[in-house]
Amino acid sequence: MINEEKLSLEKCTLFLKCVGYCKALKDIWNDGFQFSSLKRRFEEMIVKEDEKKEGKDEKLITDLGECNLFFGGSTSLELNSICVPCLLKVALNKEENEEAQKEVEMALLALSCIFSHFNIGRDLFLNEMKEIIQYHEKRHNLTRLAYQSAWWFLIILSFKDQKTIEVIVDELHFEREAARELDELMQSVDWKKKEEEEIKGKGKNEELVLKRWLQMFDNFFVTCRKWNEECSGIVESIVQVLRAANDYRREIYKTCIYLLRTSAEKRVVKVDALLKSGAIDAVLEEIQQPTVDDEIKYEILQFFDAISRRLKEEEKDEKKDAKRKVTKMEMFDKLEEVGYEDVIISFHGTIDFLSKKYHFRLSLNVSDCFVNI
């Protein structure tokens, strides 16, 4: 249609950006665009425009780059080196009018769709992203979606990059900001309205952004191996969301259970922090329910299995070992108080089934699922 001049390039990119915006916000996956002739044409146009000595149209590169990222996810090193600086230039716009904010949001959301860290180096984005995030913390010029997208972009590109991780944790204080943002988003969601009911307006949009934060925490727990005291704040916020979502948002509830398991397995959160945050209590409340979904049952057993393995490890430092033993006793008392061992025994017939279904080892030995003193 573009070749036959039935649809202008400007209208085509505008349409694709609108569709891509909704696709990214609602986490809809479709890889058909990656193998299309339109994608190839867009890529050729980006390179051709960038090669111009004079009269380079950066807006065209930005529009085409956003379309490519919304529908293609990852691009080549050559395209990233052309598109990312243009998108960051838009994202650095500090004007606070509605039109500018929308353009900034679109650019950051598109950047958050990059899913490969191999085709982009930190020198292409790190200083700019620090400026964007730090300026927002002072002036609050970004929309909630734009701010979340800026963090998502950084987290995705921090994989196996210690320098970027240090900036995220030590300089930008991701854990503190994430916990604060999640707490504020929780206040905007109508938790009493069921998922199947139609939800309109600001509350619905805030719920979608909240889900994106939760999805991002999974990447953070896997990427960040550095313990930080502020990380317990994220866990506390996840527990609050879990409790709020229990009756009406089972999808979000399951995500929270999964995140608590991941935080325990990846060791980004200390066991005593899991105790103090209320994570242990929340998970124990679920496992005692008369009917527990198999998927949740599996996640909970993995959660406690990870904690049990961590508490059985020996510490070389005497002070740390003494603290571990105190934590272990507190954990044992809590599990014994709620009859955790009896619950595990009642699951004995399904543990083998869960292991086969989820292709992961779960011991049939009850003692392996319990914290032994």
pLDDT digits (tens, 9 = 90+) for 125-146: 999 999 999 999 999 999 999 9
Of 150, 183, 217, the residue at which a domain comes to its end is 150
> Which band of pLDDT confidence, cut at 50, 70 and 90, is reported for residue 198?
very low
CA-atom Rg of the chain in angstroms: 23
If you average pLDDT over residues 319-335, what whole number do you get? 87
Query: How far is it, in rounded angstroms, from Cα 209 to Cα 212?
Result: 5
Query: For residues 149 and 247, which has the higher predicted lDDT (pLDDT)?
Result: 149
pLDDT at 203 over 90: no
Cα distances from 120 to residues 22, 183, 261, in angstroms, run: 25, 32, 31
Of 150, 176, 197, the residue at which a domain comes to its end is 150
Question: What is the per-residue pLDDT for 36?
Answer: 76
Tokens linked to 176: 């503190």
Which residue, among 225, 186, 220, has the nearest Cα to 206 in the 3D structure?
186
Query: How far is it, in rounded angstroms, from Cα 28 to Cα 302?
Result: 28
Helices (H), the chain: 9-25, 37-50, 58-72, 77-91, 98-111, 126-139, 144-157, 162-166, 174-186, 202-223, 231-245, 250-265, 271-276, 279-287, 294-312, 318-337, 340-346, 348-357
On whether residue 50 sits in a domain, the answer given is yes
Which residue, among 26, 2, 20, 11, has the nearest Cα to 211 in the 3D structure?
26
pLDDT at 1 over 60: no
Question: What is the per-residue pLDDT for 5?
Answer: 60
On whether residue 48 sits in a domain, the answer given is yes
Q: Which tens digits make up the pLDDT trace of 55-71?
A: 899 999 999 999 989 98
Question: What is the per-residue pLDDT for 366?
Answer: 64
Question: What is the per-residue pLDDT for 340?
Answer: 85
If you average pLDDT over residues 361-366, what whole number do you get? 65
Instruction: Report the chain's mean pLDDT, rounded to a whole number.
Output: 85
Question: What is the per-residue pLDDT for 29?
Answer: 72
Of 122, 150, 178, the residue at which a domain comes to its end is 150
On whether residue 228 sits in a domain, the answer given is no
What total number of domains does the chain contain?
2
On whether residue 234 sits in a domain, the answer given is no
On whether residue 193 sits in a domain, the answer given is no
What's 242's DSSP letter?
H
Q: What percent of the chain stands above pLDDT 70? A: 86
353: domain range?
278-373
What are all long-range contacts of 127-135, with beta carbons under 8 Å and residues at least 24 apart?
A: 128/88, 128/91, 128/92, 129/88, 129/153, 129/154, 130/167, 130/171, 130/172, 131/92, 132/88, 132/91, 132/92, 132/108, 133/172, 133/177, 134/172, 135/94
pTM flag (> 0.85): yes
Q: Residue 191 in 3-state DSSP? A: coil
Lowest mean pLDDT among 75-79, 224-228, 265-269, 324-328: 224-228
On whether residue 233 sits in a domain, the answer given is no
pLDDT at 117 over 60: yes
On whether residue 107 sits in a domain, the answer given is yes
CA angle 241–246–250, rounded 5-degree value: 100
Question: What is the per-residue pLDDT for 202?
Answer: 53
Which residue, among 23, 69, 11, has the nearest Cα to 43 in the 3D structure?
69
Q: How many CA atoms lie within 13 A of 6 on its CB side?
A: 2
Residues 142 and 286 in one domain: no
Query: How far is it, in rounded angstroms, from Cα 157 to Cα 328?
Result: 36
On whether residue 221 sits in a domain, the answer given is no
Question: Amino acid identity, residue 138?
Answer: K
Question: What is the per-residue pLDDT for 85?
Answer: 94
Which residue, among 132, 152, 129, 130, has the nearest Cα to 140 in the 3D structure?
132
